[in-house]
A and B are shown apart, each in its own frame.
Chain A
């Protein structure tokens, strides 16, 4: 053990019991990174606080002894936000995972930051209620990580983002001050809402230790349709046809290449008799089946859709969802280069074609998987690595294309990161979505909450 590492362990030991600290290489490797694989993983230690007091002590120690902290949730982040490359101390919330309170009148559940999203969903269901934020990684992600990234997912079109369900937060700032923000109030017109500043701040302003989460009434049983849509530009006409007739719970899309990848990966059967260029997945309340069928008939008359299926059971609904939710995993072997872009919903078709043209003209040898939450104007662009290209060269070529893609985003006042956050991956491109004035204010906020930059340095902002 080097002298400086011994010093660090001594410093940590004053904040947290030694049994809750690890420097084992396997642990450092596991806890030092998120879902991204492009960065060096080199934390000095990982700590597992069990109480708010330990978190406060850790932050105070970090200020006093000059070490840096990387907050870590379920490590499913796609932006490198939870990566420790510079000898930081990883603060894992794995051991702060209690659901510590529930109030049926307020419909509020109090969770420690490390509660796994799926456990919160299951808890809500046990109360006859519903936690509507959901995505393919909810079996691993933490509520704290969801709040830190303002996670979205597959039900945003109906239920909004994580932000819409956070009624209160307890946060330890970069100076080690414990703040209680809003505390479950529905109304609170007393000036700046620091809770909302914390949501989406990616661990750069404070460590979230617990949250009051609102729950929704349990929904009716859901039906799922998968529709074949030959032309990209018609996808939004289809969405409109549905929205004019009913409230949809989800409206997702994927291209035929995505479908072929999932079918091969999971050994599933194709939903439609004949392949189609694009597919839309629509979910809605069972009682709206009639209205949804009308929307389908109308879209078919217009020539926007050519075929479709509808689930007859929960099992079928789940296997239709698997076609969409399995995409990310099914292309993992192709080392995809991911961009998570957003424009206004009405700009989507034209934007998507512009970006597609950009990729095809620059790199005709790259396959592109398009899918995403099209009902929210959110597109996941996944460029697949050709087998014979090295990862390094592939990433380099994709990065070379980023400026032209992001320029398309900028032209439409869009976002270069719709829901995956900024972290390390998008940090240097932030200027495409945020003005110099905004960036300066963001730096000022960072300075205010974390003057010694002990929290997640180099993430989100330089």
Chain B
């Protein structure tokens, strides 16, 4: 079984981002970039399927600038067999990415495509679902457990207020939730070996897809600053403030 894993290069989750002074976007200078954490979980799941003998090949794919090669190399070190970069300087959006991936899927004919449930930069949670629609594959989103059984995939989904278990047919799309697995560290010997693995580059033109954004970002604003805390002199003063200012007790 061939498994595709789309991965996104994003600002590291632990970085406190700053908005550019002109509010046009996030300031990315001297900022650490990383594999989107949910995509990391997707790679880990695919590699585990391969280690278990269920998957035969794991292919990591990214759509974006040439710098994404860095994250694809990481995926190769973590255990992907080969990688493909759809190289573009366009600031890609979910629909464009889903189209590019669908074009690749037409060639690769993978039986399972594992996405992260969302990327932590745009928080869209759209690409996996759009891709499933474009390719007509079944989908199991927000997975906290995945079990392949013959031609079926059993997916335990994290839904509001509980877990839902569904069974879908291959070929299928799965999007990962946080609890699916704990990704391993990239081993240095494997990073060295990964240098010999193939990383192909294609362009959107070659795939015949249009990546032009369909949504225009008008402005990016930081969240409002929280007012500083205050110290009160007595319990009475505290109760008074909670009642009359914060209005959290009555």
Chain A positions within 8 Å of B, measured between CB atoms, are 220-221, 225-227, 269, 271-273, 286, 293, 296-297, 300, 307-316, 318, 320
Contact = CB atoms under 8 A, between A and B. Distances in A.
Contacts of B37: 313, 315
Nearest to B189: A307
**Contact size class for B?**
20 to 34
Given A313-B12, A313-B13, A314-B12, A307 B188 contact: yes
A221 B185 contact: no
Nearest to B35: A312
A308 B13 contact: no
B50 to A, nearest CB: 16
Given A269-B182, A297-B192, A318-B14, A313 B34 contact: yes
Contact of A314 (B30, B32, B74, B191): B32
Nearest to B34: A313
B17 to A, nearest CB: 12
B189 A308 contact: yes
Contacts of A293: 188, 191-192
Contact of A307 (B32, B182, B187): B187
B185 A271 contact: yes
A219 to B, nearest CB: 10
B15 interface: yes
Interface of B: 12-15, 30-32, 34-35, 37, 40, 74, 182, 185-189, 191-192
A336 B114 CA distance: 48
Contacts of A313: 12-14, 32, 34-35, 37, 40
B61 to A, nearest CB: 18
A309 B14 contact: no
Given A220-B30, A269-B182, A314 B188 contact: no
A311 B35 contact: no
Contacts of A308: 187-189
Contacts of A269: 182
Task: Pick the most buried of B13, B40, B189: most chain A CB atoms within 10 A of its CB.
Answer: B189
Given A286-B32, A313-B14, A314-B14, 7 more contacts: A221-B31, A225-B188, A227-B188, A293-B191, A293-B192, A308-B189, A313-B12
Nearest to A296: B188
A312 B40 CA distance: 10
Nearest to A271: B185
Given A313-B12, A314-B12, A314-B13, A221 B187 contact: no
A312 B186 contact: yes
